[in-house]
């Protein structure tokens, strides 16, 4: 039986801390944690762990696609831990650790269907050019009262005064403090998990919040975003609430995004978007040109569910096109005001429901294609981006068809992954069509 090398003192550490189990987890196609619980002693010995290859492509409904891209034999892959992610699980009632794993085929290569593999493959293309991207996500989400009946609208939770927030509380410190017991435990949890958070704010929506993660290596940042969502949901449940990362969870409220700040450095750590005099380089323009040229084909990655498309509304602070401009929040691509060393592009397209590995991979792949192809961007936007055409796909199926017909998506993210992703998304959409909504009952049932 093959094993995974682990530190010699790991077993002793587990014994000293009374650790019983290790969560051997990985992100599936939707960014949800899947995996197995392994005895701590077995993990410390490096015992091999396998799981069915198809699990990484499990639909959000729990179903599986039977597209021919998935082998009939339903073969195994190995789960190989990234020991940099080995941390205590803050929500466990009995001492437990967790580690994020790669899905590796028995032949040794990365599983093409696993989202972490997709990002690693994109980063390898940068490394081959002597480059390294730097990424920082801004993650928005809602805290809601416990969801006991999914047919009913989500409601804000009661705060310390016993009342639920009524809204209009953007950047309110009082409302940020209203759920202090949750925030205290959540803050401790992300510190335990090694998640490098920056600012915490109350956002525009009722009981909506945003936390920014510090910039860093894209794979490590994606791991942190993945664990951030996992932790938020677990800690919220401990406080009788739900942490909700839907793009548009409440009618009439702001949508939730996952803005991605991106730059690229060379082997000396210099930002290639700025020259020695501090001016923007042609490479910076090409990166933006790549985003504008290729992100529309990859929209289904940034907006993966039917609900996602409710977010892209004029005047909502969510983009409707891929215009770009300096410090312009009405554009899909914003260039924040910064020192030359921090010159970056903020991709404002991704929703909070996007898989962070896939969203980061898609954005970086598009930018790299722009660099390699020398693509020129449009002129920078002056004024209101909502006065421009609504160029982003408005519905799930438009985005699906755009990706399915794209001559570039397979090159950017891998042909096997794109085919598998499309199969999963079509199955999820078919499942959605089988359910009748409250809107249909409200307006289409004959009235007396």
Please report the pLDDT score of residue 448 as a whole number.
52
Distance (Å, rounded) from C-alpha 353 to C-alpha 307? Answer: 9
User: What tokens were used for 200?
Assistant: 């915490």
Please report the pLDDT score of residue 3 as a whole number.
67
CB 91 within 8 A of CB 21: no
Please report the pLDDT score of residue 1 as a whole number.
47
Please report the pLDDT score of residue 191 as a whole number.
97
pTM for this one?
A: 0.97
Distance (Å, rounded) from C-alpha 212 to C-alpha 232? Answer: 14
Please report the pLDDT score of residue 169 as a whole number.
85
From the centroid of its chain, how far is CA 18?
Answer: 33
Contacts of 321 (CB under 8 A, 6+ apart): 331, 332, 385, 388, 389, 390, 391, 392
Q: What is the mean pLDDT of each run of 10 residues along the chain (448 residues)?
A: 76 96 98 97 96 96 93 94 97 96 97 98 98 98 94 91 85 87 96 94 93 97 98 97 97 95 97 96 98 98 97 90 94 96 97 98 98 97 92 96 97 98 97 93 81
Query: Which structural domains are found in the chain, ordered by start?
Result: 10-113 (3.10.20.70), 127-413 (3.30.590.10)
Residue 218: C-alpha distances to residues 25, 84, 292, 375 (Å): 19, 14, 21, 23
Helix, strand, coil percent content, the chain, rounded in steps of 5: 35, 20, 45
User: What tokens were used for 50?
Assistant: 């396998």
Residue 406: C-alpha distances to residues 298, 312, 362, 413, 427 (Å): 9, 22, 14, 12, 20
Count the neighbouring beta carbons within 10 Å of the beta carbon of residue 69.
18
Phi, psi (rounded to 5 degrees) for 54: -70, -20
Distance (Å, rounded) from C-alpha 200 to C-alpha 176? Answer: 9
Q: Which of 412, 343, 171, 114 is nearest to 335 (CA)?
A: 343
Please report the pLDDT score of residue 213 as a whole number.
97
């Amino acid at each position: 039986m093959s094993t995974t090398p682990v530190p010699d003192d790991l077993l002793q550490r587990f014994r000293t801390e009374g650790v019983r189990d290790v969560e051997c987890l990985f992100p599936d196609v939707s960014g949800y944690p899947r995996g197995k619980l392994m005895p701590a002693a077995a993990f410390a010995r490096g015992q091999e762990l396998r799981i069915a290859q198809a699990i990484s492509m499990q639909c959000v409904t729990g179903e599986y696609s039977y597209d021919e891209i998935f082998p009939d034999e339903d073969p195994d892959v190995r789960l190989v831990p990234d020991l940099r992610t080995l941390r205590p699980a803050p929500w466990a009632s009995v001492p437990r650790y967790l580690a994020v794993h790669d899905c590796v085929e028995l032949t040794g290569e990365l599983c093409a269907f696993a989202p972490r593999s997709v990002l690693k493959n994109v980063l390898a293309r940068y490394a081959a050019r002597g480059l390294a991207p730097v990424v920082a996500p801004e993650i928005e989400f809602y805290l809601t009262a416990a969801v006991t009946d999914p047919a009913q609208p989500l409601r804000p939770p009661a705060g310390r005064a016993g009342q639920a927030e009524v809204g209009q509380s953007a950047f309110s410190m009082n409302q940020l403090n209203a759920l202090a017991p949750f925030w205290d435990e959540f803050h401790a949890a992300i510190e335990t998990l090694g998640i490098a958070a920056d600012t915490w704010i109350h956002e525009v929506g009722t009981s909506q919040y945003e936390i920014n993660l510090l910039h860093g290596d894209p794979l490590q940042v994606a791991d942190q975003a993945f664990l951030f969502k996992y932790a938020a949901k677990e800690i919220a449940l401990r406080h009788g609430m739900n942490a909700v990362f839907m793009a548009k969870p409440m009618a009439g409220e702001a949508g939730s995004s996952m803005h991605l700040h991106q730059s690229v450095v060379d082997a000396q750590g210099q930002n290639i978007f700025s020259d020695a005099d501090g001016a923007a380089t042609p490479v910076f323009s090409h990166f933006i040109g790549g985003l504008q040229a290729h992100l529309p084909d990859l929209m289904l990655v940034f907006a993966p569910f039917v609900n996602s498309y409710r977010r892209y509304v004029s005047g909502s602070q969510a983009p409707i096109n891929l215009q770009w401009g300096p410090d312009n929040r009405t554009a899909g691509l914003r260039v924040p005001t910064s020192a030359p060393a921090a010159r970056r592009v903020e991709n404002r397209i991704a929703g909070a429901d996007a898989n962070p590995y896939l969203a980061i991979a898609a954005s970086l792949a598009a930018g790299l294609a722009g660099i390699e192809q020398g693509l020129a961007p449009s002129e920078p936007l002056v004024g209101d981006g909502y006065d421009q055409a609504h160029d982003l796909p408005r519905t799930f199926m438009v985005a699906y068809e755009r990706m399915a017909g794209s001559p570039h998506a397979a090159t950017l993210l891998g042909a096997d992954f794109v085919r598998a992703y499309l199969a999963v998304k079509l199955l999820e959409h078919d499942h959605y069509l089988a359910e009748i909504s409250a809107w249909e009952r409200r307006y289409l049932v004959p009235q007396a």
